[in-house]
Structure 1
Amino acid sequence: MRIGLLTEGGYPYVSGDAGLWCDRLVRGLAQHEFDIYALCAGEHQENEGRVPLPPQVGRVRTAPLWGTEDDGVSYGRRARRRFAECYGELAAVLCADAPQEPSGAPRTSPLAQADRFANALYGLAELAREEGGPARALRSEQAVRALERACRAPGATRLARQARVADLLTTAAHLERILRPLSLDWYGQDGLGAVDLCHAASGGAAAVPGLLARHFSGVPLLVTEYGVRLRTHYLTAAGSSPAVRSLLAAFHGRLAAETYRQAALITPGNAHARRWQERCGADRARIRTVYPGMDASPFAEVGEAPERADPDTLVWAGPIEPAKDLVSLLHAFAEIRAHEPKARLRIVGTPAGPEGETYLHHCRELAELLFPDAARGPLAPGGPPVSFERTGGPEVPTSADAYAGGAVVVLSSAVEGFPSVLVEAMLCGRATVSTDVGAVREVIGGTGLVVPPDDPRALAEACVTLLRDPQRRARLGAAARARALELFTVEQNIAAFHGIYLEIVSRVPVRRVLLDDAGRPLPFAAPAEAHLPGHWSGTTSSAAARGGPRWATRPPVAVPAVTEGAR
């Protein structure tokens, strides 16, 4: 089977998001051939290079989403008229789809709006295929004026009507970056048009090439989201003006809805992501939850010897940033020390960028105020009560060493997606106390204590409960390790996607014709699992004319259904 893997700012770049998951998937499915189509997020990614690729990767094609790309294509009068119609329709949908005023009501049905968006998107794609890429047109004054007319048109929402020239320019520039895949030459029979399946490793821009391959060549699309791109857009767009946020939220929401509508299957990484997808219109019958796979081997030694843990030590691990809410954890630990004077807290992690460095400095100052003994070294006798350590240092060479140093692992996040740190602690057989955010409750599944976020007292009470009860810690730790080994390993993830690939391809007709040197069909030239038994599309009549055999239609081979993980 030939898979077109679509990524945005990720694999195969060294610094890419979700690169480890994609690499494990490609290496684990060595029986398939992979073509990688990567959208580069920035110049730094290209400069840092790519990871070594296994032999099953046939080709790698990349395109930048950063900077200003100019393909030199200038449209004539007729092409400009087509562009104005399609882009104007797209802008009209965004202005009508922005948040309504309390007394407002949509002028058309949601289905009609979805169709208008899809027609505009594919109209721009067909124009790009016939006349050349629309990169220059998407940045032109014509595009900005189309946005302005849509914002000023009757029925436009209040926020759209408030858009100023600067807002229109910002919106047009963002749309050009997201729609840049329309200008690529990836969709012919020498590219995505020849693959059996497109697998988008995220939503957003990464899914756009999959949508176009489906539109032009009928290639089925699989969408995997371990972090919902629409949610990410909402979290990162806070610095924009209200008009820009409204228009871009409408665009990303429409793009997500169209992606879910056209996808053969959607695989969220947890129920939290699944709920976002269903709110955006994803069909529940086409959703399969597939948990991210983690390598359990680095944590095996720690998990098999839980008795080595310090019974008085709490461990927090992960990237240091404001979303992890270490401030609440420090205040909670002050209350813990009031009940358990021997308790210690080890904070192990690396700051996430300049903001993380600033936040770490703030947390150190707070720890010095709450615990004056914190100035002593991390290995000083009897203390300090709080220590800050970095993974990879002499005290904590690996992540497993961080969890090995304590009997209870704490997660204090105010915002969380899939808590991979929590899974690592579970693989180490540690009892956990976590805040109820993101997919935490789903991951824990009753094998740890869960408290409300931003509640230091509840966090302290849960930690004290486990510090005082070693037998309960042992039971929860053993149950957590068993659950992690069952649901969250690399092997589970790879097996799930292998079954999903077979399920999708078994439902679509054969599109590729494989012939020998004499022009006769080769029914066994590709793996049998990649094709639906029956007539060879477009080859039966020609084979009969040459005196070759006619392939009789047979009942389809039953492909085992992929069962959804426990939620």
Structure 2
Amino acid sequence: MRIGLVTEGGYPFVGGDAGLWCERLVRGLGRHEFDVYALSRSRRQEDSGWVALPPQVGGVRTAPLWTAEDDGVAYGRRTRRRFIECYGELVASVCAGTRADAVSEEGATALADRFGNALYGLAELARDQGGLVGALRSDAAVRTLERACRAPGALRTAHEARVPDLLTVTAHLERALRPLSLDWYGDDSLGAADLCHAAAGGPAALPGLLARHFSDVPLLVTEYGVPLRSHYLTLGPDIATPAVRALLGAFHGRLATEVYRRAEILTPGNTHARRWQERCGADRARIRTVYPGMDAARFTEVGEAPDRAEPDTLVWVGRVEPAKDLISLLHAFAEVRKEEPKARLRIVGAPAGPEGAAYLGHCRALAAQLFPDEAEGAHAVGDNPVSFEEIGGPEAPTLPDAYAAGAVVVLSSVVEGFPIGLIEAMFCGRATVSTDVGAVVEVIGGTGLVVPPRNPRALAEACVALLRDPERRERLGAAARARALELFTVEQNIAAFHGLYLRIVSHCPVHRVVLDEAGEPRPFAAPAESHVPGRWTGPTARVLPRTVPGWATAPPVRATPLAAEGA
């Protein structure tokens, strides 16, 4: 089948977010055809180039979300009136959506319908006129937003919005709605796909929504993070005024609801993301949790080899930043040393940016303060109970070596999404002690010890319990490796999406008409499996692209339909 893969800031750009996951998916599904539609986040990302693409990628189209030139489209009076009506409905539903009081189910559905109808009205206007960038930046857009904020029934924070707030919100909406102006939705692009797979929610899923609206292309949305939650965390009180936060929060909430309502299937990466989707109106029957796939082969040697860990050593591996709460870990280790004087702690990881570097310096200073007599001399393993290392150094040449060196792997975070480092430790067959944050409990599944975050005493007690019981460590490590191999490998991820692709297409009608040599329609002649190479394919036939009102009809293209007897 032909898959339109929509990404934001990721594949196929080098070093993009979720790029590795998308690359493994595309390469693992070599029997399908992929067209990639990539939204970039910066000039630097575009200049970094693409990863090597496999032959099943038929084409790549990119568009920037970080910049947009004025399209220069001049609207007539009727078109301006149409824009103001659609944009007014959109922002009015956003202002109504900021109300704190609970609304009935019927009222929530009406608001969602109002937002969706306005969104697709703007998309149709962009298609007919060639773009919306100038209109979304115009004074008319600002005045329309102001009227919505001042209207009866809008939240008090919206009433309090001042001119700078209105300008900020207008600029943000223009950036978020840039995908409406792309030329990706015709029968020569996403409109010709059998299925659209959006690798993220939020504005990144807008192309999929429009392909569904214009061409009935079924939509699959994968969220390994929660874009709405990330927006709430990023737009804190120190960044924006209450009015801006309320309006933008309502907009992204409405957009998330529309994406979840229209997708055929949603695939969150964990239960935490699933709960967010359900709270935003997603139907539980259409949600399938698909865990991220990771390469287990690199950890096989450590996981299957006899235990060569130092029996009194705790290991922490990850990016050094405040969210990892190494301060609590160091205080916990001080308690561990009181019970187990031979215990050692190896902190393996590089700082994440300037903030991480400053935090690492603070941690080093705290370690010297907590262990004053032992902190003199070199920071090498064996000279100091606490060592700070990086992957590639003499003590930890590779990532598997870092996990292999510890009897117990510790995670001390106060904020965590999907704990990749914890899964790596499980692949290595290591017993773990973790804080109860994010998807940790879901990942561990009873194969490790879990304690409350910001609780050094509880963390220390769990570590001591495992350090004193090697048989329990071995049992937990074996169970952890078995669980990781069952749930978190690349193979299970690819198999899950392959099954979902087939499920979606089997329940959705084929939206292209195939003609025989006489020019007559051939029903059922081009199902999704017609793209599978081999003996099932028959003679070529002409495919008539479906026409969309307002678009010029493209000439017929060639396809290789499945040979059907009696068709």
Q: TM-score, normalised by structure 1?
A: 0.91
Q: 2:109 aligns with which of 84, 108, 111?
A: 111
Residue 312 (str. 1) matches residue 334 (str. 2):
no
Q: Distance in 2 between matches of 1:427 and 1:369?
A: 35
- Secondary structure at 1:109 match in 2: helix
The alpha-carbon deviation at position 374 of structure 1 amounts to: 3.5
- Secondary structure at 1:432 match in 2: strand
Partner residue, 2:235: 237
Partner residue, 2:537: none
Partner residue, 2:559: none
The alpha-carbon deviation at position 512 of structure 1 amounts to: 2.2
Partner residue, 1:181: 179
**8 A Cα contact 2:510 2:527, kept in partner:** no
The alpha-carbon deviation at position 513 of structure 1 amounts to: 3.2
Q: Distance in 2 between matches of 1:255 and 1:498?
A: 27
- Secondary structure at 1:31 match in 2: coil
**8 A Cα contact 1:367 1:386, kept in partner:** yes
Q: What's the % identity of the aligned pairs?
A: 72
How many residue pairs match? The answer is: 537
Q: TM-score, normalised by structure 2?
A: 0.91
The alpha-carbon deviation at position 553 of structure 1 amounts to: 11
Q: Distance in 1 between matches of 2:340 and 2:39?
A: 52
Mapping of 1:55-70 within 5 angstroms?
55-70=55-70
Q: Distance in 2 between matches of 1:105 and 1:274?
A: 22
CA gap 1:44/1:467 in 2 versus in 1, 3 angstroms? same
Q: Distance in 2 between matches of 1:261 and 1:553?
A: 39
Q: Distance in 1 between matches of 2:400 and 2:423?
A: 12
Q: Distance in 1 between matches of 2:472 and 2:90?
A: 58
Residue 452 (str. 1) matches residue 468 (str. 2):
no
CA gap 1:105/1:501 in 2 versus in 1, 3 angstroms? closer
Moved more, 118-127 or 392-401: 392-401
CA gap 1:379/1:516 in 2 versus in 1, 3 angstroms? farther
Q: Distance in 2 between matches of 1:393 and 1:145?
A: 59
Mapping of 1:157-306 within 5 angstroms?
157-238=155-236, 239-306=239-306
Q: Distance in 1 between matches of 2:122 and 2:358?
A: 45
**8 A Cα contact 1:378 1:384, kept in partner:** yes
The alpha-carbon deviation at position 305 of structure 1 amounts to: 2.0
CA gap 1:268/1:516 in 2 versus in 1, 3 angstroms? same
Partner residue, 1:528: 529
- Secondary structure at 1:460 match in 2: helix
Residue 511 (str. 1) matches residue 532 (str. 2):
no
CA gap 1:166/1:440 in 2 versus in 1, 3 angstroms? same
Which amino acid letter does the alignment assign opposite residue 49 of structure 1? G
Partner residue, 1:139: 137
- Secondary structure at 2:387 match in 1: strand
Partner residue, 1:91: 91
Partner residue, 1:462: 462
- Secondary structure at 2:513 match in 1: coil
Partner residue, 1:558: none
- Secondary structure at 1:227 match in 2: coil
Residue 21 (str. 1) matches residue 21 (str. 2):
yes
Q: Distance in 1 between matches of 2:22 and 2:380?
A: 39
**8 A Cα contact 1:223 1:265, kept in partner:** yes
**8 A Cα contact 1:95 1:151, kept in partner:** yes
Which amino acid letter does the alignment assign opposite residue 379 of structure 1? A
**8 A Cα contact 1:509 1:537, kept in partner:** no
The alpha-carbon deviation at position 302 of structure 1 amounts to: 0.6
Deviations 1:490-529 (A, max 9, x none): 0000000000000000001111234566646597777637
CA gap 1:143/1:161 in 2 versus in 1, 3 angstroms? same
Q: Distance in 2 between matches of 1:553 and 1:266?
A: 38
**8 A Cα contact 2:336 2:463, kept in partner:** yes
Deviating runs (4+, > 6 A) in structure 1?
A: 104-108, 522-526, 536-539, 550-554
Partner residue, 1:35: 35
- Secondary structure at 1:422 match in 2: helix
The alpha-carbon deviation at position 538 of structure 1 amounts to: 8.6
Q: Distance in 1 between matches of 2:491 and 2:21?
A: 12
Partner residue, 1:379: 380
Structure 1: runs of 5+ lacking an equivalent: 540-549, 555-567
Moved more, 158-167 or 191-200: 158-167
Q: Distance in 2 between matches of 1:309 and 1:49?
A: 41
Residue 47 (str. 1) matches residue 47 (str. 2):
yes
**8 A Cα contact 2:98 2:155, kept in partner:** yes
CA gap 1:306/1:431 in 2 versus in 1, 3 angstroms? farther
Deviations 1:333-373 (A, max 9, x none): 11111111111111111212222112112211211211233
Q: Distance in 1 between matches of 2:376 and 2:131?
A: 61
Q: Distance in 1 between matches of 2:49 and 2:105?
A: 49
Aligned residues: CA RMSD: 2.3
CA gap 1:400/1:195 in 2 versus in 1, 3 angstroms? same
Deviations 1:387-416 (A, max 9, x none): 111123333222111101101000111111
Q: Distance in 2 between matches of 1:215 and 1:530?
A: 24
Q: Distance in 1 between matches of 2:258 and 2:149?
A: 23
Partner residue, 2:327: 327
**8 A Cα contact 1:506 1:529, kept in partner:** no
**8 A Cα contact 2:294 2:488, kept in partner:** yes
Q: Distance in 2 between matches of 1:73 and 1:526?
A: 40
Which amino acid letter does the alignment assign opposite residue 160 of structure 1? A
